[in-house]
Chains A and B, each alone.
Chain A
Amino acid sequence: MSEAAAPVAGVRKSRKELDRAVIRFAGDSGDGMQLTGEQFTTESAWAGNDIATLPNFPAEIRAPAGTLFGVSSFQLQFGSQRVYTPGDRLDCLVAMNPAALKVHLRDLKPGGLLIVNTAAFDKRNLDKAGYAANPLDDPALGERYRLHKVDMTGLTHKAIQDLDLNTKEKDRTKNFFALGLVSWIYTRPLEPTLDWIGKKFAKSPAFAEANTRVLKAGHAFGETAEIFSEHYTIEPAEMAPGLYRAMTGNRALAWGLLAAAERSKVPIVYGAYPITPASSILEELAMHKRFRVRTIQAEDEIAAVTAAIGASFGGAIGVTGSSGPGIALKGEGIGLAVTAELPLVIFNIQRAGPSTGMPTKTEQADLMQALYGRNSESPVVVLAPATPGDCFYVAYEAIRIAAKYMVPVIVLSDGFLANGSEPWLIPDVSTLPPIDIQYRTDPEGFFAYLRDPATLARPWVRPGTPGLEHRIGGIEKQDVTGNISYDPDNHDHMVRTRAEKVRRVAQEIPPTSINGPATGDLLVVGWGGTYGAITASVERAQLAGKSVASIHLRHLNPLPPDLGHILREYRKVLVPEINSGQLVRVLRAEYLVDAVGFNRVRGLPLASEEILESINQLLGERQ
């Protein structure tokens, strides 16, 4: 984007077409930045763009106003082509106060659009943000960026001065001034936001009127003020035809469970203890009692998993959800489900750790915990969704596998997927694979650990079935009969059998889809929420003529049967992860390939630019 000529009053402003844009709204956690971002996202969805979002907010519920750690932001990328990530560098930053400017300015591209609310740049806020002098007075800022100093607070008050609201209430609508202004700059339709205002404030007409007027005032300001030289359009994206909705990862996980409950005709019991960023799954499920999904807000993480196991013992499907610290507490319970051979699904919405870490920040560092984080040989199936919408399918698949193989399944989502949203093509639910649950009812020849020859699953018997009364437990048991056994050879056999049962889940894995040439110089292997960043960087490398492909693993245990073969078709293998190198270690151990990691553990999604750099560097090494 280049700077356009100075505007001429009365002349229609130039409209420039863009492929994509990355915008971040940043302000105090009380400034309504999440709402502003969500509304801008909806407007962009209406405009037919592909979108990826990144909400980023402090863990504190009401962080002190004006402070650096109280800054809340919402970033999105929207475009006329596939958008894989919320974007790396910003085309436009809206900073509602000095702290927001200080925290976020470094992500703005040189020459990028910088819109600030001048009213918030008073001595008090400057002090809190640690500015010795007002940065807006520094001419360098305007030279480096296209700086627009707008008194949003003042203009907001002016637009609604005759309304019977107090100063604080009027102040709180200024985020809609920003929304209106940026909506004008990027030619977004205001209708969805006006609709939202109408619904939200149906019972308080004064607020409805205030927000409507302020939104329109922001929009009109863009159009009439002489400071904005141009504005932009982004054509609708090429997307598969069909009905779309915005989908976040946590809602998709919850709805995937609802779909599984409906299809399997088996109730789901979801046990959970509130924890960031997993709590919204519990809240979402609690709203949908009609689907016979029963929720327990348990007294702790251990009760949450064991209540789910109790439900599975009863013939329902037990599910529990948490984040890393909670999963650590659930370890013993998961081990019980491993040895009792009961279906159990565990959602881990990963966050930055260790310990409490950074609860609202994302990370991918629980892969080893999922694979090995329990005592003894305790294999479980591990799946990871790639995008917010993919969470729906992965939750459904987790239930299907857990019930078919009588095995715990861990789903590794993360904070980025949980809160991020994307336009999601609504599936025809009749095309989902069946979940065919068979309880054993025939007492003839029954043993508690008699196995299905194909899956090695033991029979699932609902208590209440006459003639099949039996006991199971955490003590090692004899294969077939299920009787307590301390026999050394039997234990060795059971350890191998439990592992083999998990390995057999590989027969459920479809051929790995390769993004790029089937053989070449470099293969980028990813898993989980880095899908967008990896795909975007690989496609850019491909456009630059590089011999690069990528694959994204949904199945982390067992690994896809064709993976070993694929890895050997490339000279080099790169594994980008938001951890210190976990999948890369597994791949090196399993396949003896010299895979190298690209690892950043900053609590943020990987940037496609940095992955691209790493790709180029690896390819360069060959010469």
Chain B
Amino acid sequence: MSPTDAGAAATPKYTKKDFESDQDVRWCPGCGDYAILSAVQKTMPDLGIPKEDIVFISGIGCSSRFPYYMNTYGFHTIHGRAPAIATGLRLARPELKVFVVTGDGDGLSIGGNHMLHILRRNVNVTILLFNNRIYGLTKGQYSPTSEMGKVTKSTPMGSADRPINPLAFALGCGATFVGRTVDRDVRHMEEMLRRAAHHKGTAFLEILQNCNVYNDLVWNVIYEKESKLAHELRLQQGKPLLFGPPDDRRAVVMEGVMPKVVPAKDVPESALWVHDESNINAAKIIADLWVPEFPVPIGVFSAIEAPVYEDTLLAQEQRAISERGPGDIAKLLTSGDTWKISSEGG
């Protein structure tokens, strides 16, 4: 068993209730965060991990209030730094199951550098990034995922920033698990949470989340029933990239090095693009698909195995101890060049 395998022989049988803390939840009424909180609390019992071994770490922002509402260990830290805090915690306590809860501002703006580095190191942490394309806690400025031209309090004539695509960013950083889900699709969200939590290494799960106060219905393309039916592409391992209503099924296929949408009926089965989570290159193409030209993919974009940062470091520590024995400060102090002075006035 590797030092990072969490869990115990006899894990108590939990229910959702066991993961609800005694604190009043203080998000705005109607906020998408409520659904996410409920889904997380509901999936926790499925992890099979004693709740005292679970830690939620967050930075600053609406999403970062999350740990207060989980009846686990929690640390609400400073803006953008949760991935770095989590890295230190994992190195100190590899037996703990660590979640990072962050948002588009916390994780991709002020904390973008830490996000880059936790992903490339592949620290064993599950990252939930709530993306609402707006700054909520500071009351409505544009975020790094806001669309160009977005009119907000700080951009009265429209944002001049080109937005970042969180999943393309994560894949570019070498993420070993990248997924996307939606706050209004509870079952899909629960499934994705389980997948992300079980991944070994850094799991990056983007949750499209509604800020009903400052950016209401920004994800309406996959909220509104008909639109969702028309545009949502559910990624499933081994299944072709098909979407749309039954009478208008469409396929995403590759033409040369470019993705393209065509009527499904025009594509022979053997020519369909079959989703493979282990194919990083394919995931990078899928991560860039978006309406109106393409569908909105949700699901697991990629899941691969790679060395876990703290496993490598702790294995080095074990190797050093097994080869040369545990450290002995008295021996170290007298190692190398020393000289003796035998009496005063030597």
Q: Using CB atoms and an 8 Å cutoff, list the residues of chain A in contact with chain B.
A: 42, 45-46, 48, 192, 236-246, 255, 258-259, 261-262, 267, 269, 271, 288-292, 294, 296, 298-300, 302-304, 306-316, 318, 332-333, 335-336, 340, 426-429, 462-475, 483-484
Asked if A429 and B72 sit within 8 Å, CB to CB, the answer is no
Interface residues in B43-75 by Cβ distance below 8 A to A read 50-53, 55, 57, 60, 67-68, 70-75
Provide 5 A-B residue pairs closer than 8 Å at the C-beta atoms, listed in order of the A residue: A241-B342, A244-B338, A302-B81, A314-B88, A428-B330
Contact in complex: B334, A473 (CB < 8 Å): no
- Name the contact of A244 in the complex, choosing from B85, B328, B340 (C-beta under 8 A): B340
Are A244 and B76 within 8 A (Cβ)? no
Q: State the 8 A-B residue pairs at the shortest beta-carbon distance, nearest first.
A: A473-B76, A310-B88, A307-B88, A291-B327, A316-B92, A471-B74, A310-B85, A303-B84
Q: Are the CB atoms of B77 and A336 closer together than 8 Å?
A: yes
Q: Check A243–B88 contact: CB distance below 8 A.
A: no
Q: How far is the CA of A244 from the CA of B334 in the complex (A)?
A: 8
A269→B88 CA distance, assembly (Å) = 7
Q: Are A238 and B346 in touch, CB under 8 angstroms?
A: yes
CB A32 to nearest CB in B, in angstroms, measures: 19
Q: Knowing A292-B327, A306-B77, A306-B88, say if A471 contacts B21 (CB, 8 Å).
A: yes
Complex: chain A residue closest to B335, CB-CB: A245
Supposing A45-B339, A269-B91 touch, asked if A290 and B68 sit within 8 A by C-beta, the answer is no
Q: Quick one: closest B residue to A432, CB to CB?
A: B329
Contact between B88 and A471 (Cβ–Cβ < 8 Å)?
Answer: no
Contacts of A299 in B (CB 8 A): 84, 113-114, 116-117
Whether a CB of chain A sits under 8 angstroms from the CB of B304 is: no
Asked if residues B329 and A463 are in contact (CB atoms below 8 Å), the reply is no
User: How distant is the Cα of A243 from the Cα of B343 in the complex, in angstroms?
Assistant: 11
Among A246, A291, A315, the residue within 8 A (CB) of B329 is A291
Partner of B327, one of A290, A316, A470: A290
Q: Are A306 and B78 closer than 8 Å at their CB atoms?
A: yes
Report the Cα distance A237→B344, complex, angstroms: 9
> In the complex, how many angstroms separate the beta carbon of B66 from the nearest chain A beta carbon?
10
CB neighbours (8 Å) of A427 from chain B are 333
Instruction: Using A242-B341, A261-B327, A318-B92 as known contacts, list a sample of 5 further A-B pairs with CB atoms less than 8 Å apart, ordered by residue number in A.
Output: A48-B341, A243-B338, A244-B338, A427-B333, A484-B68
A240 to B90, CA, bound (A): 45
Residue B160, interface by CB 8 Å: no
Tell me, rounded to whole Å, the shortest Cβ–Cβ distance linking A243 to chain B.
5
Closest CB-CB distance, B232 to chain A, in whole Å? 35
- Residues in A with CB closer than 8 Å to B116 are 299
A345 to B334, CA, bound (A): 26
Distance in angstroms between the alpha carbons of A302 and B59 in the assembled complex: 13
| Minimum Cβ distance to chain B for residue A254 (Å) | 10
- Pairwise interchain contact A243-B89, C-beta atoms closer than 8 A: no
Q: Which residues in B have their C-beta under 8 angstroms from that of A255?
A: 329, 332-333
Whether the pair A303, B81 counts as a contact (CB closer than 8 A) is yes
A153 CB, nearest partner CB in chain B, Å: 30
Task: Establish whether residues A310 and B89, one from each chain, have CB atoms under 8 Å apart when the complex forms.
Answer: yes
Residue of B85, B337, B340, B341 near A246 (CB, 8 A) is B337
Q: A45-B339, A426-B333 are in contact. Are A469 and B344 (CB under 8 A)?
A: no
- Measured between beta carbons, the chain B residues less than 8 angstroms from A467 are 52
Report whether B320 and A290 are in contact in the complex, using a CB–CB cutoff of 8 Å: yes
Q: Give A335's nearest chain B residue, CB to CB.
A: B78
Interface assignment of B93: CB less than 8 Å from any CB of chain A: yes
Inter-chain contact B85/A294, CB cutoff 8 Å: no
Are A469 and B332 neighbours in the complex by a CB distance under 8 Å? no
Q: Which residue of B85, B114, B338, B339 contacts A309 across the interface (Cβ within 8 Å)? A: B85
Interface residues on B, range: 35 or more
Q: Name the B residues within 8 Å of A483 (CB-CB).
A: 23
How far apart sit A237 and B345, CA to CA, in the bound complex (Å)?
6
Tell me if A243 and B81 are in contact (CB < 8 A): no
Taking each of A300, A335, A464, which has the highest tally of chain B beta carbons within 10 Å of its own beta carbon?
A464
Task: Note all chain A residues with C-beta closer than 8 A to B345.
Answer: 238
Query: B346 to chain A: which residues have CB within 8 Å?
Result: 48, 236-239, 241
Query: Which residues of chain B from 99 to 114 have any CB-CB distance to chain A below 8 Å in the complex?
Result: 113-114
Contacts of A428 in B (CB 8 A): 330
The answer to whether the Cβ of B265 comes within 8 Å of any Cβ in the partner chain is no
Q: Which residues of B contact A192 (CB under 8 A)?
A: 337
The listed residue (B78, B95, B329) touching A336 by CB distance below 8 A is B78
* A313–B75 CB distance below 8 A: yes
A294 with B91, Cβ < 8 A, contacts A299-B116, A426-B333, A429-B329 known: yes
CA distance A261 to B316 in the complex (A): 18
Measured between C-beta atoms, what is the minimum distance from B21 to chain A in Å? 7
Residues of A within 8 A of B68 (CB): 471, 473, 484
Decide if B85 touches A307 in the complex (CB within 8 Å): yes
The answer to whether residues A289 and B316 also contact, given A472-B75, A475-B76 and a CB cut-off of 8 A, is yes
**A307 adjacent to B75 (CB under 8 Å):** no
Q: Does B207 contact A (CB under 8 A)?
A: no
For B67, list chain A residues within 8 Å (CB). 471, 473
B117 → A minimal CB distance (Å) = 4
Known contacts: A299-B116, A310-B88. The answer to whether A243 contacts B334 by CB under 8 A is yes
Interface presence of B326 (CB below 8 A): yes
Q: Write out the residue numbers on chain A whose beta carbons fall within 8 Å of the beta carbon of B73.
A: 463-464, 469-471
Query: Which of A238, A262, A267 contacts B92 (CB under 8 A)?
Result: A267
B88 touches A244 (CB 8 A): no
**If A472-B76, A474-B77 touch, does A288 touch B341 (CB 8 Å cutoff)?**
no
Q: Which residue of B lies closest to A290 (CB)?
A: B327
B87 within 8 A of A: yes
Q: Which of B279-320 contact A (CB under 8 A)?
A: 313-314, 316-317, 320
Is A42's CB under 8 angstroms from B337's CB?
yes
Q: Closest CB of chain A to B63's CB: distance in Å? A: 14
In the assembly, what is the distance between CA of A47 and CA of B89, in Å?
Answer: 48
Residue of A nearest to B114 (CB): A303
CB <8 Å contact, A340 and B75: yes
CA distance A468 to B89 in the complex (A): 18
Enumerate chain A residues within 8 angstroms of B313, measured Cβ to Cβ. Answer: 294
> B167 an interface residue at 8 Å Cβ cutoff?
no
Using Cβ atoms and an 8 Å threshold, which residues of chain A touch B57? Answer: 310
**CB contact list, B155-191 vs A, under 8 A:** none
Interface pair A332/B88, CB less than 8 Å apart:
no
**Quick one: given A255-B332, A469-B51, are A310 and B87 in contact (CB under 8 Å)?**
yes
State whether A303 and B332 are in contact (beta carbons under 8 Å apart), knowing that A240-B344, A289-B317, A463-B55 are contacts in the complex: no
B246 within 8 A of A: no
The complex places the Cα of A45 from the Cα of B339 at a distance, in Å, of 8
Please report the C-alpha to C-alpha distance between residue A426 and residue B338 in the assembled complex, in whole angstroms: 9
| Chain A residues near B21 (CB-CB < 8 A) | 471
Q: Is A245 a contact of B76 with CB atoms below 8 Å?
A: no
